[in-house]
Amino acid sequence: MAQATKKKPVAKAAGAPVSARIAAQAHFHTLRLGTPFQPRIDALARTQDWYNWAGYRAPHSLWDEELEYFAIRSQAALFDISPMTKYRIEGPEAEALLNRVTLRDVTKLRPGRVHYTAWCDDEGFVLDDGTLFRLSPTRFRLCSQERHLPWLLDSAVGFDVIVEEETEAVAGLALQGPTSFAVLRDAGFAGVERLKIFDLADFPHDGGPQGNTQVTISRTGFTGDLGYELFVSADMALSLWDRLMTSGDLRGIRAIGYTALNRARLEAGLIVANADFTTAEHAIRADRLRMPDEIGLGFMIDLEKGHFNGRRAILEARAKRKLRYVLVGLEIEGNIPAEHAIVYHKKAHEVGLVSAAMWSPMAKRNIAIASLARPYGDTMVEDLWVEIYAMRELQYQKLMKRAKVVARPFIKLDRRTANPPADF
Amino acid sequence: MTSFDAIIIGGGHNGLVAAATLAKAGRKVLVLEAGSEVGGAARTEEFAPGFRASSIAHLLNRLHPDVVKTLELEKHGLQFGRADFMPSVALSKDGPPLVLHGAYGEVLTGASSSEQSAWKGLRAQLLRYAGILKPFLYRRPPDLAGMSLLETVSLGQTALALKKLGKEDMRDFLRVLLMNVADLLDEQLTDIRLKGLLAFDATLGSHLGPRSPTSLLGLYYRLAGETDGAAGAQVLPQGGMGAVVTAIRASAEKAGVEIRTLAPVAKIIVEKGRAAGVALDNGEVMHASTIVSAINPATTFLDLVGPREIDTGFVRKVKNIRMKGDTAKLNLALDRPPQFTGVDAAGHKGRLVIAPSPDHVERAFNPSKYGEFSPEPVMEITLPSLADPSLAPSGACVLSAVLQYAPYALKEGWDAGKPKFLKAVMAQLESYAPGIGKSVIHAELLTPADIETRYRMPGGHWHHGELQADQMLVSRPVSGWSGYDTPIDGLFLAGAGSHPGGGVSGAPGLNAARRIIAMKG
Ligand SMILES: Cc1cc2nc3c(=O)[nH]c(=O)nc-3n(C[C@H](O)[C@H](O)[C@H](O)COP(=O)(O)OP(=O)(O)OC[C@H]3O[C@@H](n4cnc5c(N)ncnc54)[C@H](O)[C@@H]3O)c2cc1C
């Protein structure tokens, strides 16, 4: 495993030599890093079905995609989120910095709370979306799909703040599903029942080589279900895993891979960077760039809060009606997933593409997320079709299926937000 | 309190030109200057009792004709004719000097006849090519996204001028455009004195040696300037460079511009993405809907606006503007006029250049790459009091010299380096004008670090930002924002850091004002 600690790239390093910046991005040096949970995951990996998540070796599935999905919806699923990029942003002006970088108003995010947000480049194109954890008045954790250290350091110029990559130093787990609360309670996390959706708190954890330490638990997740996310320093990872597995044994706890999670998130209507939209730094073609309003994140934009990156461009795009795309939820007739299908108007005119699709066992509907060129999906929502190529014994069966624009999320589970959380 | 339509930050010549142009268009304009005098680096100051000199910029060779016309500077006492054109004298230790007479060497003396005809050909070519670039180098750079009809037409005119060149000439224009000046000179000339002078002129004010790629652009930039309609002509204004500013100031004040000195702006107030006013360092706040910053672009954004009001990508670009100067200024009070070996009386009233060959210039450049000054600096010298006795006590003389290379970030630091550099400069002068050392009453050496503090020019840089291919035209001051407007609505840039660049031209100030007028019109 790669070293978990390294020289701290602080904001002052904005003007520091390039070599310091390169050293601060050591993830390039090892191909497919293991996460702090790797020994446990390797032991459970019967399918040996791996993929590359931000440079880490992560499982698509561990034993059975279908059953892993149902672990999320009817038991408790444990998913390793350590590869998620994590930054510690701390200092008297951390709030001001994040308010300038991200779209939402960070002054409204109280300590002990989490919000989902996104950030843009100067042109108003989305660089990434992610979750912002306010650990204290002056300390934040920003989690995202892509790496952003150079961007954050350059953004920190002129702010009294430290920006540090902590992806390797901090291990993360998502515990999701109806019995997740009971698992945590039985594991001895006293008071965890007080966490409302998007709350976070620190809990003691005794199990690492250094003895007593803290685990940060938030009532968040990527499944639309009752669930939690847990963060500990990397050296505590295995003892935390064992603690949860032990207490969850009778509650059906299962480790899962990404395929199952991906289904749950689609049902929850959540989007994934570089799956449902191309992030600005990845896009090569000019028409692949997306503004928040073009991927359903317009609600985050707070024009009253003061300046933030991309504000000017976003305002101009809105005023001059330069928004060209829209991201929508679709319900498609039949039951064949329309994965990456082309969307047509009147069966003839190509207007967009499905980026994620599935038959939803929970919604009992054939659902999809698609990006359409306006006005389709925006003001023109009638007469939309998707063309599905279903491979049937070495022959494509081309199906033209009616698609209806519907609201996201596709499922709404009361247990996600119920207080106190239900004991299953 | 009076209210103003526009507040200009910085009373350098560009700020004053912008102010005057706006005022003539009916705007109520206030200029806020940090120093006790306006003019910035284009001032005449007393540097020793009874001795006055153009403190920094001393030679006028690019004051834009539209500035002269718009501000009616001739009415305000600024007038030049052919008789004022100064020769350039390429000094030589071992032999008579070579002299370029008239407007950048209409006549060449001191060279062989074959060299004279080679020069004639090269000069014509340089002026022809500089002439093609001239509209690019003066107008607001084309805004490729939303070009107005007028802009399209004038761009078309340039294309037409290019076409008129003829196929061969056009190919050659494109071939040499980004060349280094030394290679081009080697193609056409043989006299190292002439080549040394041209190599010096091409690299003056930049962090380039004659063999650095693109160094020829500096020569084109120089030759795109004109005086009294003659490209490349240079003059020493009577009363020093301050006289130019005095005329500009008079024009501005006549148009109703109000000027406040000792009023350093500490902050540009931004409200909801719009410039709303400024705050002085004493806390005084003034409001206006148009704020024009005629100071350095990096200072404007990183210090006065502050990074939190602008986007990260823009901060990145601004931070990356290279602006570490290599040019120093020497003002000497001499008890008598110096005698440069082999130079006649007319030559002493000209521009005396110590740059004996392109190799000398290149060698002078080399140490600057590593944070060291040239042990044998190259320089351009004027003796302004010879033609304007008011600058010195009678019988005495002022020497004003621009020196290269003196890197801003001197490794040993300028506290330690300055006396050593002065010694090197004086030794160099002594070898061309024996006895000059003994006649020095007072020596004022301004290193880039001194220029930075005294004139608020970051890096002490001639152009408020290197003028090289990657920082010119649509990339000046940063790519995407070359049209004088900025990401802050109502805030404009108007100083040398903007297109086309530095030198006493008034072009950035004029263009910025025209842009503002066009936007509201
Ligand atoms: C050594 C040297 C020699 C040169 N020689 C020549 C030459 O011979 N011929 C030539 O044409 N050019 C020459 N130049 C270049 C020329 O001097 C400059 O390009 C030109 O003066 C720039 O004019 P400006 O008005 O844009 O900026 P500046 O002259 O720098 O004026 C800016 C003004 O803004 C003021 N200011 C700054 N900050 C603030 C603030 N916060 N609030 C209020 N006011 C502020 C400054 O005090 C200054 O008065 C030389 C430059 C150098 C360094």
Spans of chain A below 50 pLDDT: 1-13
Q: Provide φ and ψ at B370, rounded to 5°.
A: -115, 20
Question: What is the mean pLDDT of the segment spanning B135-141?
Answer: 84
Whether A417 is in a domain gets the answer: no
A383, A255: one domain: no
pLDDT at residue A2, rounded to an integer: 39
A157, A61: one domain: yes
Q: How far is A148 from chain B (nearest CA, A)?
A: 12
Whether A352 is in a domain gets the answer: yes
Whether the pLDDT of residue B29 is over 90: the answer is: yes
Facing A307 at nearest CB: one of B273, B313, B319: B273
Which atom of ligand 1 is least distant from the CA of B461? Answer: 53
Q: How far is A10 from chain B (nearest CA, A)?
A: 17
pLDDT digits over A216-273, tens only?
A: 999 999 999 999 999 999 999 999 999 999 999 999 999 999 999 999 999 999 999 9
Whether the pLDDT of residue B150 is over 70: the answer is: no
A292, A244: one domain: no
A306: containing domain = 286-406
pLDDT at residue A6, rounded to an integer: 42
A140, A223: one domain: yes
> Quick one: angle between helices B167-176 and B113-138, nearest 10?
80
Q: How far apart are CA B391 and CA B33, in angstroms?
A: 25
Residues of A in contact with B319 (CB under 8 A): 154, 157
pLDDT digits over B450-465, tens only?
A: 999 999 999 999 999 9
pLDDT at residue A13, rounded to an integer: 44
A221, A302: one domain: no
Helix, strand, coil abundance in chain A, percent, nearest 5: 25, 35, 40
Pocket residues: Cβ below 6 A from ligand 1: B 9-15, 32-35, 40-42, 56-59, 62, 264-265, 294-295, 325, 327, 329, 402, 451, 455-457, 460, 462-463, 495-496, 502-504
Whether A4 is in a domain gets the answer: no
Q: Per the structure block, which two tokens stand in for B420?
A: 């050593």
Whether the pLDDT of residue B153 is over 80: the answer is: no
Question: In sequence order, which residues have a C-beta less than 8 Å from that of residue A412 and are 6 or more positions away?
Answer: A224
Q: Is residue A183 within 8 Å of residue A240, measured between CB atoms?
A: no
DSSP string, A238-262: HHHHHHHHHHHGGGTEEE--HHHHH
Q: Per the structure block, which two tokens stand in for B110?
A: 């001191």
Q: Tell how far CA B104 is from the center of its chain.
A: 17
pLDDT at residue A10, rounded to an integer: 46
Query: Residue B308 carries which DSSP code?
Result: G
Whether A209 is in a domain gets the answer: yes
Q: How far apart are CA A147 and CA A86, in angstroms?
A: 9
Q: Is residue B307 within 8 Å of residue B428, measured between CB atoms?
A: no
A292, A394: one domain: yes
Q: Say how many residues make up chain A.
A: 424
Q: How far apart are CA B4 and CA B18, in angstroms?
A: 15
pLDDT at residue B282, rounded to an integer: 97
Q: Per the structure block, which two tokens stand in for A113?
A: 């709370």
Q: How far is A183 from chain B (nearest CA, A)?
A: 43
A241, A170: one domain: yes
Tell me how many residue pairs between chain A and chain B have CB atoms under 8 A apart. 46
Q: Is residue B162 within 8 Å of residue B173, measured between CB atoms?
A: yes
Q: Per the structure block, which two tokens stand in for A358?
A: 């599935």
pLDDT at residue A248, rounded to an integer: 97
Residue nearest to atom 12 of ligand 1 (CA): B503
Q: What is the maximum span of chain A, computed from C-alpha positions, in angstroms? A: 65
Q: How far apart are CA B490 and CA A319, in angstroms?
A: 18
Q: Per the structure block, which two tokens stand in for B119?
A: 């020069």
pLDDT digits over A139-167, tens only?
A: 999 999 999 999 999 999 999 999 999 99
β-bridge partners, B31: B8, B259
Question: What is the mean pLDDT of the segment spanning B113-126?
Answer: 98
Q: Is residue B138 within 8 Å of residue B224, measured between CB atoms?
A: yes
Question: In sequence order, which residues have a C-beta less than 8 Å from that of residue B79 and are 6 or more positions away?
Answer: none
* Other beta carbons within 10 Å of A5: 10
Is the link from the previous residue into B500 a cis peptide, with omega within 30 of 0?
yes
Strands A113-120 and A126-136: antiparallel
pLDDT at residue A97, rounded to an integer: 98
Cβ distance A101 to B307 less than 8 Å, yes or no, reads: no
Query: Residue B149 carries which DSSP code?
Result: H
Rounded to 10 degrees, the C-alpha dihedral A321/A327/A329/A334 comes to: 110
Residues of A in contact with B315 (CB under 8 A): 154-155, 157-158
pLDDT at residue B1, rounded to an integer: 55
User: Which of the given ranges, A284-288, B401-405, B481-485, has the highest pLDDT on average?
Assistant: B401-405
Strand segments, DSSP code E, in B288-410 are 290-293, 327-334, 351-354, 378-382, 397-404
Whether the pLDDT of residue B162 is over 80: the answer is: no
> Quick one: angle between helices B113-138 and B149-164, nearest 10?
160
User: Nearest to residue B497, comparing CAs of B290, B293, B359, B353?
Assistant: B293
Facing B312 at nearest CB: one of A155, A312, A315: A155
For position A150, which CATH number holds? 3.30.1360.120
A36, A177: one domain: yes
Report how many domains make up chain A.
2
Residues of B in contact with A123 (CB under 8 A): 313
SS3 B457: coil
pLDDT at residue B151, rounded to an integer: 65
Q: How far apart are CA A65 and CA A61, in angstroms?
A: 6
Q: Provide φ and ψ at B32, rounded to 5°.
A: -110, 115
pLDDT digits over B300-350, tens only?
A: 999 999 999 999 999 999 999 999 999 999 999 999 999 999 999 999 999
Helix ranges (H only) for A37-86 are 38-44, 65-74
Q: For residue A72, which amino acid is it?
A: I
A243, A298: one domain: no
Q: Is residue A129 within 8 Å of residue A118, measured between CB atoms?
A: yes
Is the link from the previous residue into A361 a cis peptide, with omega within 30 of 0?
no
What is the Å distance from ligand 1's center to B74 Cα? 22
pLDDT at residue A9, rounded to an integer: 44
pLDDT at residue A5, rounded to an integer: 41
Q: How far apart are CA B503 and CA B452, in angstroms?
A: 16
**pLDDT band of B147, cuts 50, 70, 90:** low
pLDDT at residue A11, rounded to an integer: 45
CATH superfamily of B2-42+64-74+240-322+463-520: FAD/NAD(P)-binding domain (3.50.50.60)
Whether the pLDDT of residue B170 is over 90: the answer is: no
Q: Is residue A54 within 8 Å of residue A79, measured between CB atoms?
A: no
- Edge-to-edge order in the sheet of strand A162-165: A113-120, A126-136, A139-144, A85-90, A162-165
pLDDT digits over B186-238, tens only?
A: 999 999 999 999 999 999 999 999 999 999 999 999 999 999 999 999 999 99
Strands A227-233 and A342-345: unpaired
* Other beta carbons within 10 Å of A185: 17
SS3 B230: strand
Whether A1 is in a domain gets the answer: no
A247, A301: one domain: no
Q: What rounded mean pLDDT belongs to chain A?
A: 94
User: Nearest to residue B50, comparing CAs of B351, B331, B379?
Assistant: B331
Cβ distance B312 to A154 less than 8 Å, yes or no, reads: yes
Query: Residue B217 carries which DSSP code?
Result: H
Helix, strand, coil abundance in chain B, percent, nearest 5: 40, 20, 40
Query: Residue A376 carries which DSSP code?
Result: B
Strand segments, DSSP code E, in B226-326 are 226-227, 230-231, 258-260, 265-271, 274-280, 285-287, 290-293
SS3 B224: coil
Residues of A in contact with B299 (CB under 8 A): none
Whether A100 is in a domain gets the answer: yes
Q: Per the structure block, which two tokens stand in for B5?
A: 């339509």
A319, A223: one domain: no
Q: Is residue B399 within 8 Å of residue B381, measured between CB atoms?
A: yes
pLDDT at residue B166, rounded to an integer: 81
Domain boundaries, chain B: 2-42+64-74+240-322+463-520, 117-231
Q: How far is B493 from chain A (nearest CA, A)?
A: 18
Q: Provide φ and ψ at B355, rounded to 5°.
A: -160, 70
A252, A295: one domain: no
Q: Tell how far CA B446 is from the center of its chain.
A: 16
DSSP string, B52-114: EEESS---B----HHHHHHTTTTTTT----GGGPPPEEE--SSS--EEEETTTTSEEESS-HH
Helix ranges (H only) for B345-487 are 345-348, 358-365, 414-432, 448-455
For position A398, which CATH number holds? 2.40.30.110
Q: Per the structure block, which two tokens stand in for B198?
A: 């041209």
Which pairs with CB-CB distance under 8 Å and at least 24 residues apart come from A27-34? A27/A2, A27/A54, A27/A55, A27/A147, A27/A167, A27/A168, A28/A55, A29/A2, A30/A2, A30/A55, A31/A55, A32/A56, A32/A57, A33/A1, A33/A2, A33/A57, A33/A83, A33/A168, A34/A1
B285-294 burial string, b = 16+ CB within 10 Å, else e?
A: ebebbbbbbb
Q: How far apart are CA B25 and CA B10, in angstroms?
A: 20
